[in-house]
Amino acid sequence: MSFELNRDAKYREMVESPLEPLILRMAGPSIVSLLITSAYNLADTFFVGQLGTSATGAVGIVYPLMTLIQAIGLMFGKGTGTLLGRQLGKQDMKKAGQTAVHGLVCVTVLVSVLMVLGLAFIQPLSVLLGATGSMERYTVVYARFILIAMPFKAAATALSCILRFQGYSRRSMYGLGSGALLNIVLDPLLIFTLGMGFSGAGAATLIGEMVGCFILLWQCSREGCIPIRLQNLSLSREGLLSIFSGGFSSFLKNGLSSIASVLLNRAARPYGDAAIAAFIVVNRLVHIFQQIYFGLGEGYQTVCSYNYGAKCYHRVRKGFWFCIKLGSLLLVVVVLSLAFAEPVIRLFRNDPNVIASGAAMLRAHMLTLSLLPVCSTGFVMLQGIGRNLDAAILGSGRQGLFLVPLILILPRFFGLGGLIAVQPCSDVLSTILGIIILRPNMRKLVDDESFFQTNV
């Protein structure tokens, strides 16, 4: 009875409470957890930066591998979560319980297999990721820890989505945030105090991912939440296809981002370790500001899928425009980054070559940051309402359809300047694509609402 009362109260909150405060309540914990995760990425970059330019570059070389793990976790997490949200909007608790355990088991098994393969071929993997000769030793050491952490990271990503799409963003924050904070604390302790050096950074990441995963699993067992029970596991081709189709756009978006990162690392190799290190620092800095908006999108997506399942289409549209308006605040960050680029880069690596390249990269990346809301909000909305093909096209634009060809073309003709211009050009093109895709989908939401109201 207590579980049913909690679920009924959560349903009313999601479909009846004032929309803008609801989105901010859902988004707040997501933003905090994403910022903490970005902070631990920066902490890795900062503390490893004390060990040398090659060590800094090696952390970035392994980053695409971490992105790929997250892409797989998000594919199952978002696929499970969006389906779960719509089922909860329809108040179908039995199917929701089956969906939750199905997604978690599948992602854990798949990523465990990939971990074994990665460990078996770790040397050629590090070269494939773009490691230079001076970086290869560091890359192998760090990649080994990341590979062992793979099942925990993927499962944690999926569990986080399962919690968020039930409306428990704060519980998701506790799990992700605790693991990331532990990593930040362990970095200097293991690297310097215990004398583990570069291995300490990898060990800190592994321990943080394991702890975060187990805390998230515990959060799913708390009152009011759909429990993760193996007895609810009902493997079916139909269920797996529903999860896969719902989450494939996330996998494509993040998987292409991983490929693009590898290509960027390889394209930067002719310019030396300093250029690679500059890209790593800039990407981590820009990532922080992106995460603020991605967190807002996570909060909106929870509300979006729930209300779409409940046929409250006007709330889906209204939430979309609310998020777009909030995105204008990113312009403040753009102005500040143009003025303070050099001192910010110097905080992470006091190398003249890294500072010169990094400042130019940071300014170029931040100039188009204010365009992010169109594609980011559009992507989570399309995914939340089940427009999976459009979501896949839009999600793959910024980091794949445009970025990958631009990486292959611009540096060939314009050298390092062309490489710096790759991401800003991709941002402009993907925004145009976003507008083209979103216009008919917004009209379709109006038509769906009219049809529903006429036939009630």
pLDDT in tens, 56-107: 777 878 878 888 888 899 999 989 988 888 888 788 888 888 889 999 999 9
Give me the pLDDT at residue 57, please: 75
Q: What is the pLDDT of residue 115?
A: 96
3-state secondary structure of 312: coil
- Give mean pLDDT, residues 41-55: 76
200: which DSSP letter?
A: H
The mean pLDDT value for 361-368 works out to: 84
In angstroms, the Cα distances linking 108 to 142, 149, 171, 236 are 22, 11, 21, 17
pLDDT band at 456 (very low <50, low <70, confident <90, very high): very low
For residue 7, name the pLDDT band (cuts at 50, 70, 90): low
CA distance 202 to 303: 36
pLDDT at 22 over 50: yes
CA distance to 58, 73, 132, 188, 322, per residue, from 142 (Å): 8, 20, 15, 16, 41
Which of the four pLDDT bands, split at 50, 70 and 90, describes residue 451? very low
The alpha carbon of 169 is separated from its chain's Cα centroid by a whole number of angstroms, namely 15
Give pLDDT, residue 1: 46
* Domain edges within the chain: 2-449
What pLDDT, on the 0 to 100 scale, is given for residue 207?
95
* pLDDT, mean of residues 3-9: 64
Contact 416, 357 (CB under 8 A): yes
Q: Which of these, 138, 431, 123, lies nearest to 280 by C-alpha position?
A: 138
Contact of 70 with 313, CB cutoff 8 Å: no
- pLDDT tens digits, residue range 214-226? 999 999 988 778 8
pTM: 0.74
CA distance 73 to 392: 16
